[in-house]
């Protein structure tokens, strides 16, 4: 049967797509009714103290010139000072209580299990478990209205490029949008990298704590056969879920069936590596192509197709880097990005826009988290390679912004580059001699990495100024600043010690980032009938609230208020056993700092850490390992999430003077609306700056 039906279905899919593209191309934007032009360049995580210092030292001449025309200010950020939260407030001009993005994680109040915040995913549908009938869908959980929609409805034309929290893309009236974070890779993660090597032990194989898949290579006659693990097959995944729902207490045969399905849950692409020991090169044969790799040289982008079944493929692309072909064979493969011209769900608005850019500019990264932080953190990539790749990530975003500036098809253009954030996360340890991971030899080579990316941003500003018309208003915006992260704090372990979290029996095992995507175990052995408060994410402490959490025991009202007072007072007394330093700088109570329709989703308390201390990775996932304060011995060494927002401001440089003495990131949206004479909706919390 199936061949004919299948062909018809495939054909109709193709025709459908072609029609959709045709319609999208027709919708050209009308000419502008505005003469004023506004460009906002976002540099994620750019720190006002560093910018100030380096402007004074003459390292950032173009920033300085711009600031001299208008001004340079710290830009007050959100609670918590995190990119998703702050950029959502940037877009909407409202506090998190009105836009619902409090952290990069949310939790399920029924199961307490954490999940990535920002989006909700709906899997595709298949007829007979085979013929695609419903496309996968991604829905944003962000509430409130972004300024580009409000302004667009009034006729302002916009170009919105790689701003965090713009995936899935919104329909922008009179505008275009290329999605930024959290566009995932083909595995649905924030960037799963691959590392294949002959010198990996069986013990090291598998998933790393922070998003990598490691595989040992067995070489025979200089050839190794292995496989690339692609997206989970939605059909198999659905069968696993059905089995789990059908039998909550699975029998041995159910268990065997689930294990058999899990073994083939991920779509795999087999490939071979031919090792030329004499030339110290290797050739990868994959999907009918041969790619010759030289050590230390990142390959071009390679198209990769992952076949779900005969009818459905996921189109991806990755780069390969032969790290060693001398005594050992070591191959790195980047996270598989969605192809810009053929993503499984739209990553731009109109949906053809990402593909149009691809045809003009060639390959560019679509993954929201575009930099190689995870392989560096896991010790599978060195600093030199990380920095080379980071410059390319910067350039990928920059070329899109310059191309759209030249199109002249906008009144307001917003382009965000996140590389400054990533370089600070990873290289702070070589800038801060007091960091436990400071290494004088490495610092002599890479100690200026952060400054170099700030200078790249300064140079990019000069390029932008060459491309815009004279008189264009320019704002440089960052969403938060940065701190050294010298010591990690197990907040949940502290809550266990203080009796707020009650564990029955064994201490739960360590959590991995992959557990978030792969249905790992969370909160095992936590006795919810006696647990009053629990920590998750970057500094959020949730109460186990009756009527909200499925096994809640704390009553809203007086009991909750009393618990908030008691717990915040205790948190403020936390000290470092090593030297008695204060760990917690401030604790913010929900009702004091947030207001709006999503207030109920906020944590009861938000901890604001002192410089040097951050909540541990295990705390973010709800884990409670032994010990409370320990040295951060990871390369991920600078941070901002969970620090006190009052000491973590972002920055603003504008070539127009600003009327308000202490601007906030909530003020940008109303500033844009006022700039174009669009009336500011009453729900907006920020105030116009010009
Ligand atoms: Zn960051």
Distance CA 270, CA 215 (A): 13
Contact 334, 357 (CB under 8 A): no
What pLDDT, on a 0 to 100 scale, did the predictor assign at position 334? 98
Q: Is the pLDDT of residue 651 over 80?
A: yes
Give residue 20 CA to ligand 1 midpoint distance, Å: 37
Mind giving me the DSSP string for 172-216? Answer: -TTEEEE--TT---TTSSS--EEEEETT--TTT-EE-TTSEEEEE
Q: Name 233's bridge partners.
A: none
Distance between CA atoms of residues 405 and 65, nearest Å: 21
Q: If pLDDT is split at 50, 70 and 90, which confidence band does 519 have?
A: low
Q: 38-43 and 473-477 as β-strands: parallel, antiparallel, unpaired?
A: parallel
Which of 292, 310, 337 is where one domain is finished?
337
The pLDDT assigned to 376 comes to: 96
- Give the predicted TM-score (pTM) of the model: 0.92
**Structural contact between residues 335 and 185, judged by C-beta atoms closer than 8 angstroms:** yes
Task: Kindly state the helix (H) or strand (E) to which residue 153 belongs, with its residue range.
Answer: helix 147-153
Query: Could you report the per-residue pLDDT of 363-415, keeping only the tens digit for each?
Result: 999 999 999 999 999 999 999 999 999 999 999 999 999 999 999 999 999 99
Residue 69 falls within a domain, yes or no?
Answer: no
Mean pLDDT, range 78-89, rounded to an integer? 97
- Which residues are CB-contacts of 580 (< 8 A; sequence separation ≥ 6)? none
Three-class DSSP category at 24: helix
User: What's the angle, vertex CA 81, arms to CA 449 and CA 432, rounded to 5?
Assistant: 30
Taking the C-alpha atoms of residue 656 and residue 653, their distance in angstroms, rounded to an integer, is: 9
Name the helix (H) or strand (E) containing 53.
Answer: helix 48-56
Q: Both tokens of residue 408?
A: 């002249």
The Cα-based distances of 667 to 34, 80, 417, 475, 689 in angstroms read 22, 17, 20, 12, 7
In a domain, 419, yes or no: no
Closest alpha carbon to 386 in 209, 207, 193, 227: 193
What pLDDT shows up at residue 338? 97
667 alpha carbon to ligand 1 midpoint, in Å? 21
Q: Give the confidence band of 518 by pLDDT, cuts at 50, 70, 90.
A: low
Tokens, residue 331: 């191959």
Considering the domain boundaries, does residue 119 fall inside one? Answer: no
Give yes or no for residue 285 having a pLDDT over 50.
yes
**In the structure encoding, which two tokens stand for residue 341, read together?**
């011209």
Higher-pLDDT residue of 519, 658: 658
Among the ranges given (20-34, 135-149, 599-613), the one the predictor scored with the smallest mean pLDDT? 20-34
pLDDT at 24: 43
Instruction: Give the Å distance between the CA of 224 and the centre of ligand 1.
Output: 38
- pLDDT of 562-572, one tens digit each? 999 999 999 99
In a domain, 304, yes or no: yes
* Rounded distance from Cα 640 to ligand 1 centre (Å): 6
Among the listed residues 454, 471, 440, the one whose alpha carbon sits nearest the alpha carbon of residue 391: 454
Predicted local confidence at residue 242, as pLDDT: 80
Which of 312, 337, 362 lies at the terminal end of a domain, its last residue? 337
User: Cα separation of 439 and 627, whole Å?
Assistant: 26
Structure tokens at 157: 């034309």
Q: What is the pLDDT, as a whole number, of residue 357?
A: 98
* Better pLDDT: 626 or 282: 282
Confidence bin at 71 (pLDDT 50/70/90): very high
Output the CA 467–ligand 1 centroid distance in Å.
29
Q: Which residues contact 285 (CB under 8 A, 6 or more apart)?
A: 271, 272, 273, 274
* Whether residue 82 has pLDDT greater than 80: yes
Cα separation of 134 and 130, whole Å? 11
Q: What is the mean pLDDT of the chain?
A: 91
Q: In the numeric block, which tokens belong to residue 285?
A: 């044969």
From residue 432, give the alpha-carbon distance in Å to each of 213, 303, 384, 507. Answer: 31, 40, 19, 35
244 Cα–ligand 1 center, Å = 36
Residues 6+ apart with CB under 8 A from 256: none
CA 177, 181, 185, 189 dihedral sign is negative
Alpha carbon of 236 to ligand 1 centroid (Å): 35
Residue 666 per-residue DSSP state? G
Residue 678 has pLDDT above 50, yes or no: yes
* 590, 593, 597, 599 alpha-carbon torsion, rounded to 10°: -10
Q: How confident is the model at residue 21 (pLDDT cuts 50, 70, 90)?
A: very low
pLDDT for residue 410: 97
Tell which wins on pLDDT, 50 or 5. Answer: 50
Polymer length in residues for the chain: 690
Q: Which residue has the tokens 């478990």?
A: 129
Alpha carbon of 247 to ligand 1 centroid (Å): 41
Predicted local distance difference test score (pLDDT) of residue 255:
83
Task: Classify the C-alpha dihedral 658-659-661-666 as positive or negative.
Answer: negative
% helix, strand, coil for the chain, step of 5: 30, 25, 45
Q: How far is the CA of 481 from the centre of ligand 1 (A)?
A: 9
**Separation of 638 CA from ligand 1 center, angstroms?**
9
**Residue 115: pLDDT band with limits 50, 70, 90:** confident
What does the pLDDT read at residue 11?
Answer: 35
Distance 83 CA to ligand 1 centre (A): 6
Radius of gyration for the chain, computed over Cα atoms and rounded to the nearest angstrom: 25
User: How many angstroms does the Cα of residue 513 sit away from the middle of ligand 1?
Assistant: 16
**How far apart are the C-alpha atoms of 95 and 84, rounded to whole Å?**
12
What pLDDT is attached to residue 8? 36
Residue, of 32 and 632, whose pLDDT is higher: 632
CA distances from 265 to 138, 223, 492 (A): 21, 27, 33
Domain boundary among 292, 311, 337: 337
Whether the pLDDT of residue 1 is over 50: the answer is no
Give mean pLDDT, residues 320-348.
96
**What is the 8-class DSSP label of residue 356?**
H
On whether residue 543 sits in a domain, the answer given is yes
329 CA from centroid of ligand 1 (Å): 33
Residue 27: pLDDT band with limits 50, 70, 90? low
Helix spans in 216-342 (H): 234-246, 252-263
Q: From the CA of 418, how far away is ligand 1's center (Å)?
A: 8
Percent of the chain with pLDDT over 70: 94
CA of 117 to the centre of ligand 1 (A): 15
- For residue 590, the model assigns a pLDDT of 97
Cα-to-centroid distance, 78 and ligand 1 (Å): 14
Phi-psi region of 547 (alpha: psi -120 to 50; beta: other; left: phi over 0): left
CA 190 to ligand 1 center in whole angstroms: 13
CA 425 to ligand 1 centroid distance, Å = 7
**pLDDT by residue (tens digit) across 310-325?**
788 899 999 999 999 9
Three-state secondary-structure class, residue 325: strand
Domain count, the chain: 2
| CA pair distance 482, 480, nearest whole angstrom | 7
Q: Residue 589 sits in which domain range?
A: 486-643
- DSSP line for 619-641: HHTT---S-SEEE--SS--EE-T
- Between CA 462 and CA 466 the distance in angstroms is 6
User: How far is ligand 1, taken at its centre, from the CA of residue 422, in Å?
Assistant: 6
Reduced to 3 states (helix: H, G, I; strand: E, B; else coil), residue 387 is helix
* Cα 643 to ligand 1 centroid, rounded to whole Å: 12
On the question of pLDDT at 298 being above 70, the answer is yes
Give the helix/strand (H/E) hosting 316.
Answer: strand 313-318
């Amino acid at each position: 049967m199936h061949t004919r039906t299948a062909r018809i279905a495939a054909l109709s899919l193709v025709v459908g797509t072609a029609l959709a593209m045709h319609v999208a191309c027709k919708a050209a934007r009308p000419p502008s009714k505005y003469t004023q032009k506004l460009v906002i360049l976002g540099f994620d995580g750019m720190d006002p103290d560093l910018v100030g210092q380096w402007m004074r030292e003459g390292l950032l001449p173009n920033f300085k010139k711009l600031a001299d025309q208008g001004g340079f200010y710290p830009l007050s950020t959100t609670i918590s000072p995190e990119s998703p939260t702050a950029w959502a407030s940037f877009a909407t001009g409202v506090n998190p209580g009105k836009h619902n993005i409090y952290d990069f994680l949310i939790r399920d109040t029924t199961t307490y299990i954490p999940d990535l915040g920002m989006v909700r995913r709906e899997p595709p549908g298949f007829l007979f478990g085979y013929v695609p009938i419903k496309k996968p869908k991604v829905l944003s959980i962000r509430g409130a209205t972004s300024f580009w929609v409000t302004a667009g409805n009034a006729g302002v034309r916009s170009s919105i490029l790689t701003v965090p929290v713009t995936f899935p893309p919104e329909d922008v009236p009179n505008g275009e949008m290329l999605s930024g974070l959290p566009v995932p890779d083909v595995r649905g993660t924030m960037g799963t990298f691959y590392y294949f090597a002959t010198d990996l032990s069986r013990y090291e194989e598998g998933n790393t704590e922070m998003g990598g898949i490691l595989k040992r290579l067995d070489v025979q006659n200089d050839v190794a056969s292995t496989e690339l693990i692609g997206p989970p097959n939605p059909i198999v995944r659905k069968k696993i879920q059905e089995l789990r729902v059908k039998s909550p207490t699975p029998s041995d045969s159910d268990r065997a069936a689930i294990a058999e399905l899990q073994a083939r849950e991920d779509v795999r692409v087999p490939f071979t590596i031919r090792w030329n020991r004499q030339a110290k090169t290797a050739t990868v044969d994959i999907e009918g192509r041969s790619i010759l790799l030289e050590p230390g040289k990142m390959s071009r982008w390679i198209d990769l197709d992952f076949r779900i079944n005969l009818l459905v493929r996921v189109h991806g692309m990755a780069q390969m880097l032969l790290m060693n072909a001398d005594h050992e064979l070591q191959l790195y493969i980047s996270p598989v990005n969605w192809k810009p011209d053929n993503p499984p769900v739209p990553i731009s608005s109109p949906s053809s826009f990402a593909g149009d850019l691809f045809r003009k500019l060639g390959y560019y990264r679509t993954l929201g988290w575009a930099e190689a932080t995870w392989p560096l953190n896991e010790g599978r990539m060195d600093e030199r390679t990380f920095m080379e790749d980071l410059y390319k990530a910067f350039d990928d975003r920059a070329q899109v912004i310059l191309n759209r500036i030249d199109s002249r098809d906008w009144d307001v253009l917003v382009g965000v580059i996140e590389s400054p954030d990533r370089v600070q996360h990873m290289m702070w340890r070589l800038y801060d001699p007091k960091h436990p991971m400071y290494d004088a030899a490495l610092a002599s080579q890479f100690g200026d990495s952060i400054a170099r990316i700030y200078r790249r941003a300064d140079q990019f500003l000069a390029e932008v100024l060459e491309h815009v018309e004279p008189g264009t208003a320019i704002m440089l915006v960052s969403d938060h600043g940065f701190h050294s992260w010298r010591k990690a704090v197990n907040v949940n372990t502290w809550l266990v010690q203080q009796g707020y979290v009650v564990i029955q029996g064994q201490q739960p095992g360590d959590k991995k980032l992959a557990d978030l995507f792969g249905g790992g175990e969370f909160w095992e052995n936590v006795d919810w009938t006696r647990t009053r408060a629990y920590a998750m994410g970057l500094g959020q402490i949730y109460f186990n609230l009756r009527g909200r959490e499925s096994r809640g025991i704390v009553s809203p009202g007086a009991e909750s208020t009393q618990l908030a007072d008691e717990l915040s007072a205790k948190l403020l007394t936390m000290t470092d056993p090593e030297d008695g330093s204060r760990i917690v700088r401030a604790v913010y109570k929900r009702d004091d700092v947030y207001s709006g329709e999503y207030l109920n989703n906020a944590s009861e308390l938000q901890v604001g850490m002192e410089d040097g201390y951050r909540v541990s990775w295990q705390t973010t996932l709800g884990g409670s390992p032994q010990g409370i304060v320990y040295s951060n011995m990871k390369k991920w060494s600078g941070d901002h999430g969970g620090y006190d927002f009052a000491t973590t401001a972002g920055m603003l440089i504008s070539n127009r003077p600003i009327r308000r003495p202490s601007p906030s990131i909530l003020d940008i949206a109303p500033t844009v609306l006022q700039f174009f004479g669009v009336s500011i909706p009453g729900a907006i919390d920020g105030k116009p700056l010009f």
